[in-house]
A and B are shown apart, each in its own frame.
Chain A
Amino acid sequence: MMGQVAVLSWEGGVGLDSDVARLRRGDPQALEVLLSRYQHRLYRYLLRLVREPALAEDLFQQTWLRVAERIRRYDPSRNFDAWLFSVARNLAIDHLRRYRPESLDEPVAGDPSGETKQSRLAAEGPTALDRLLEQERAGLVATTLADLPVMYREILSLRFEEEMKLEEIAGVLDIPLSTVKTRLRRGLDGMKRKIELRSRSDWGLA
């Protein structure tokens, strides 16, 4: 079984490498394959970053145009996923910086959710979270994720949805590994606190 998985993933990697190499030579068929392969993942990542479908669509298109323009500068020894997502991220962050700079504001250290100390204290206690997670309220998790600042939304999406390694995330975000870990922990912490808070109010415990 393990052997089969290894062979499949090796074939996937080889296939991807050859598609990327063909794209570098300007083969439109390769573009077709890569677009199909990444369409939903890339769109999801952009949607997590900017939260507006129309804007995510615009950035999706811009990302692939940028890929076509810069593919010859792509270093094949680098992970293509990380390169592609960093192209998308740079475009999204540039847009946010230009049109919604307030959305990039770094929250106060140790308080990534932007909540008050009072609300955090009110949310202490594992029972509400347990109850919530047991019921798998995915809608609430999605809403809570969307409520986090962009730096935590993107890192949680890359780690849990894209299942990227920490080193790959560091490459996409162009930050040191230690910062990846810090943001990951703060992002999860913010999620937990918000979920607990919402869960309490949903259950009339606020």
Chain B
Amino acid sequence: MTEHESIRELLALAAAGALDEGEQRMLDKHLASCAACSAELDAWRGLAVSLKRLPTPQAPPMLVERTRSRVALEMAAVGERRKSQWVMAFLVLFSWTVTLVTWPIVRLLTGGLLSWLDLGFNQTWFGLAGYTALGWLTAGVAGAVLALRRRREGRLA
């Protein structure tokens, strides 16, 4: 491929402003002595200008309005979901804290009764497991009630 041919390959990209420094230097040097390439580059530039000047199709105002209200609703829903996640995380933390903090009190109050059953070493762990399960069962029921309520609200919206 001659220099002229390889430069011709660059002309379209030159019009698109897509040459690197080395290619641009090579092109400039060649153009100084080649009228044919200069003319062809002008034609490519004309095409580039025509593309830049294409009329911009306008987004219909109704579309923009419709999109605005739908996205605003979606954003509100996303915000609500995020809030629910935080509430859920807080509840989990709270449940564990309450369970662990109140367990010694429960042990103290029920110690007499449990020691009468004489469950030995395991009684502490049985008691704690039962107490925790009770706490989580309550939380699970509360969560299910909340989910049902939300689904009903979603249907009504």
**Residues of A with Cβ closer than 8 Å to B?**
26, 28, 31-32, 35-36, 39-44, 47, 53, 57, 60-61, 64-65, 67-69, 126, 129-130, 133-134, 136-138, 141-142, 145, 156, 159-161, 163, 166, 180-181, 184-185, 188-189, 191-192, 195
A138 touches B52 (CB 8 A): no
A39 touches B51 (CB 8 A): no
**Interface residue B112 (Cβ < 8 Å from any Cβ of A):** no
Classify the secondary structure of A's interface with B. Answer: helix
B70 touches A195 (CB 8 A): no
A184 touches B54 (CB 8 A): no
**Interface residue B60 (Cβ < 8 Å from any Cβ of A):** yes
A191 touches B13 (CB 8 A): no
Residue of A28, A44, A61, A161 near B66 (CB, 8 A) is A61
Measured in the bound complex, the distance between the Cα atoms of B44 and A206 in whole Å is: 22
B69 to chain A, nearest CB (A): 10
With an 8 Å Cβ cutoff, the count of chain B residues facing the other chain is 37
* 7 pairs of residues in contact across A and B, judged by CB atoms under 8 Å: A44-B57, A57-B60, A138-B50, A160-B16, A163-B52, A184-B18, A185-B12
**Interface residue B115 (Cβ < 8 Å from any Cβ of A):** no
Interface centre among A133, A180, A191, A195 (most CB of B within 10 A): A133
**Interface residue B120 (Cβ < 8 Å from any Cβ of A):** no
Given the contacts A32-B68, A159-B16, A185-B12, A43 and B43 also touching, CB distance less than 8 Å: no
Residues from chain B with a CB closer than 8 A to the CB of A159 are: 16, 18
Residues from chain B with a CB closer than 8 A to the CB of A39 are: 59, 64
